[in-house]
Chains A and B, each alone.
Chain A
Amino acid sequence: MDILYLLIPLSVILVFFVLAGLWWAIDRGQFEDIEREGERILKDS
């Protein structure tokens, strides 16, 4: 169980990485126009 002494601090760091990812997504406005992005793939050109 000694591995937990490594994994628990790692999980804390991981949470901060996820938070940074979320911040990036919010800052880029990814949560503001959800529908359109889904349909962009259907558009030609």
Chain B
Amino acid sequence: MLSAPSETTAVLPPSPAASSAGSAPLISITPHSAEALHLLDDPQEWSAFSRPSPQGADCWESNVVIEGMHCAACSFTVEDAIAAVPGVVRVQVSAASHRAKVVWSAAAVQPSAWMQAVQQRGYRALPANDVFSSERRRIETRKALWRWLVAGLCMMQVMMYAYPAYTAQPGDLSMEMEQLLRWASWVLSLPVILFSCGPFFSNALRDLRRGSISMDLPVALGIAITFAVSTAGTFEPTGVFGREVYFDSLTMFVCFLLTGRWLELRLRNRTAGSLEALMNRLPESLERRNAEGIFERVAIRRLLVGDLVRVHPGEAFAADGVVEEGETLVDEALLTGESEALPRGPGSLVVAGSHNLSSTVQVRVQALGEQTRFGQIVALMQSASTSKPRAALLADRLAKPFLIAVLLGAATACAWWWQTDPERALMVAVSVLVVTCPCALSLATPAAMLAAAGNLARNGVLVRNLQGLEALSEVDAVVFDKTGTLTRDTLAVTSIEVRQGVAPAEVLQQAAALATHSMHPASKALVGASALEAYRAGPWICDAVTEQAGQGVEGKARPAGVQGESEIALRLGSARYCGVTADPGATARVYLSDSQGWLATFEVREDLRSEAAEVIAALTQARVQVHLLSGDHSGAVQRIATEVGITQARGGCSPADKLEALRELQAQGRKVLMVGDGLNDGPVLAGAHASFAFGNAVPLAQAQSDFVVLGDRLNTVLHSVLLARNTMAVVRQNLWWSLVYNAACVPLAIAGLLPAWLAGLGMASSSLVVVANALRLTRSGALNKGF
């Protein structure tokens, strides 16, 4: 085993959890082992993705996600594969949602059998643990679609009935005919009011009860008043409300609004769906020693305190515990941000959420679930998210004065007309309310934000909540967590020093031959470097390799394909392990020695993302202060910071320290954007003004952030910040436009100069202007310049 040599070493171990969390659509399909699938044959696991089916006794209906499907034809292949398994009663694969519903008889077949049938066709089946939330979303979507279609269809028909009234010359339309058309319009407006507008009324009522005002209140008020006035105009043309009807404007208004809401819902569902899909995986499992002393694989939820478990390299520790046998290196980066691999031997503690890096150990379980440090971080995160500063939305802040102004305006107009023409007074008040129907105002924000979110989605950023865009546009400080955000997950060899008379390429091949036997990140860097064209040389192989955890690895190396005498004994690892004097300096070094002593020194360091410096320069230029808070050693953090051009950097931060630093920044009045990936970032992500998580982050970090970046391009952060600012600029333009439109129309309506059809036309065109303006945000070209 190779060590991380000097005190200031900053090595970044690979995180197996990260790769499995991001497994959904981005990586190629690697089949599950049969052993892993057999875990699903335990009836205790069934309830997560199945329920008893009414189709027959002992029948279960399971929901699974099929990975690797590209088109509708794939769905037939998968369907045939599952249906061919004896014991499967019925199967239905949806090509659109990549999901399958399988009804199977527990007496005849086990889930692993038909899942393996799917794998044999080259796809992969995973239990759909999100089945209940996706079912709820499906019902919600159907209802929204239904509301929208009702409004749309009724709008079209009401327009037909309204058409004669607009075009007829005086005398063309008999009194009775006009009355008939109005009744027909009224009947068709009823389903729109009673059914399609339901959410507006219930939201407005909820807001009123809480004493707050949102956009739904003016909308609901406008709808209700317009409908009431039109109803009065239909059935009592001589009454105080006059004889004008506005059914066409009303239904069109509702249809526009519902179109916006429907698009918003679809986008939100798609985002939520792809995030929840990350949770679909086989149950986490590990090997536990049973009563007979044999290790067998069980699901983690069946673990008890006091169990002895065996953890292999690359696996995560599922519980806090004490090592009983074996020595290894562990990676606690996800918990502490500390990226150095830590040695753990018999008697030392390991914590849940950390990863075993080098060799198999046996661990006695001491704490599970909420009692672990992992559980405590989760609790810290939840408390941080409840105290999150959430600014009210711009449109909602505007709505209140707007609404008050409109009500005042209507009342004033009414009072003013009352003195001269009492019969007309109420009608004028009503037309003021109708003309200000806040369609453009309530479309202004969602239209722009939806367009921006669509743009971001195409660039690989999922917007978890649309309000995040407004928060993001105000950001004037960004805090990076070094681990995984500014650097890649791997190390890279930066320089090689060799003994006089040997070729660097040759030495690197020898070192790589030894390093292939080690799981240490530095070893992986050496192996990676040996494959580069610049270091092309004949490959070597190593025998009799022994590793010493935290120290190094030794073995006998010979050129591949050569037998016999040319074997040389090599040691790779820390300076002490190789018996050489360490070079002074801050960077991490790995030494190679043979029987004659020092042979080579390899300098390894974190692989900075190539675009990091560029992105940070651009952020600074965009008047955003860049900070770096990391759990790593201060030295390593400082070095990275100077390299990418960050002036404010702090190392050695615990999750609580980071939260503290965040609060300090917020106390200075800064709006902070947090970019993180680790579990230890969870609380900070939850507490920040806006937050980004990278797609390979742990699910918990993703669940707390406003934006999730799929893939690992850092410039998406910059792109998002700039786009969010553009979005808010468009929102402001839209709001201004609708305010100006209203300001121009209200006086006309007060003066009694605005006929109903003109008011309706104005309302429609102002909505169209707003939507067209928002569509500018879907063009991403201008923002991507330079990248």
Contact = CB atoms under 8 A, between A and B. Distances in A.
Contact of A33 (B97, B153, B181, B191): B97
A15 B188 contact: yes
B180 A8 contact: yes
Given A26-B149, A36-B95, A39-B73, A15 B142 contact: no
Contacts of B75: 36
B146 A32 contact: no
B96 interface: yes
B72 A39 contact: yes
Interface residues of B, number: 27
Contacts of A1: 177
Interface in B286-316: none
A9 B188 CA distance: 11
A13 to B, nearest CB: 10
A11 B180 contact: no
Contacts of A18: 153
Nearest to B176: A5
A5 B178 CA distance: 11
26 contacts: A1-B177, A8-B180, A8-B184, A11-B184, A12-B187, A12-B188, A15-B154, A19-B150, A19-B154, A19-B191, A22-B153, A23-B146, A26-B142, A26-B145, A26-B146, A29-B142, A31-B145, A33-B94, A33-B95, A34-B96, A36-B72, A36-B75, A39-B73, A39-B76, A40-B72, A40-B76
Interface in B55-105: 71-73, 75-76, 94-97
Contacts of A27: 142
Contact of B97 (A9, A11, A32, A43): A32
B365 to A, nearest CB: 45
B555 to A, nearest CB: 56
B270 interface: no
A42 to B, nearest CB: 8
Interface in B160-188: 160-161, 177, 180-181, 184, 187-188
B138 interface: yes
Contacts, number: 66
A15 B146 contact: no
Given A9-B184, A23-B146, A36-B94, A43 B191 contact: no
B546 interface: no
Nearest to B146: A26
Contacts of A12: 157, 184, 187-188
A8 to B, nearest CB: 5
Contacts of B177: 1, 4
Contacts of B154: 15, 19
Contacts of A36: 72, 75, 94-96
Contacts of A22: 146, 149-150, 153
A11 B150 contact: no
Classify the interface of chain B: helix, strand, loop or mixed.
Answer: helix
Nearest to B94: A33
Contacts of A29: 142
Contacts of A38: 72
A4 B183 CA distance: 13
Classify the interface of chain A: helix, strand, loop or mixed.
Answer: helix
Contacts of A39: 71-73, 76
Given A4-B177, A33-B95, A34-B96, 11 more contacts: A8-B161, A8-B184, A11-B157, A12-B187, A19-B153, A19-B191, A23-B146, A26-B146, A32-B96, A36-B72, A36-B96
Contacts of B191: 19
Interface residues of A, number: 26
Given A15-B153, A19-B153, A23-B146, A4 B180 contact: yes
Interface string B649-685: 0000000000000000000000000000000000000
Contacts of B153: 15, 18-19, 22
Interface of A: 1, 4-5, 8-9, 11-12, 15, 18-19, 22-23, 26-27, 29, 31-36, 38-40, 42-43
Contacts of A23: 146
Contacts of B142: 26-27, 29
A42 B76 CA distance: 11
A22 to B, nearest CB: 5
Nearest to A31: B145
* Closest A-B pairs by Cβ, 8 of them: A36-B95, A39-B72, A36-B72, A33-B96, A35-B72, A33-B94, A15-B157, A12-B184
Nearest to A23: B146
Contacts of A9: 180, 184
A3 to B, nearest CB: 12
B695 to A, nearest CB: 26
Contacts of A32: 94, 96-97, 138
B3 to A, nearest CB: 55
A21 to B, nearest CB: 10
Contacts of A4: 177, 180
A24 to B, nearest CB: 11
B108 to A, nearest CB: 23
A27 B399 CA distance: 36
A34 B187 CA distance: 33
A36 to B, nearest CB: 4
A7 B622 CA distance: 64
Contact of A35 (B96, B150, B160, B161): B96
Contacts of B184: 8-9, 11-12
Contacts of A35: 71-72, 95-96
Nearest to B152: A22
Contact of A43 (B76, B146, B150): B76
A9 B184 CA distance: 7
Interface string B114-150: 0000000000000000000000001000100110011
A15 B465 CA distance: 37
Contacts of B161: 8
A45 to B, nearest CB: 9
A21 B96 CA distance: 23
A21 B745 CA distance: 41
Residue from A4, A15, A19 whose CB has the most chain B CB atoms within 10 Å: A15
Contacts of A19: 149-150, 153-154, 191
A9 to B, nearest CB: 7
B578 to A, nearest CB: 61
Contacts of B187: 12
B181 A8 contact: yes
A27 B612 CA distance: 50
Contacts of A11: 157, 160, 184
A30 to B, nearest CB: 10
Contacts of B97: 32-33
Contacts of A15: 153-154, 157, 188
A32 B187 CA distance: 30
A33 B97 CA distance: 8
Interface in B258-308: none
Contacts of A26: 142, 145-146, 149
Residue from B72, B96, B188 whose CB has the most chain A CB atoms within 10 Å: B72
Nearest to A18: B153
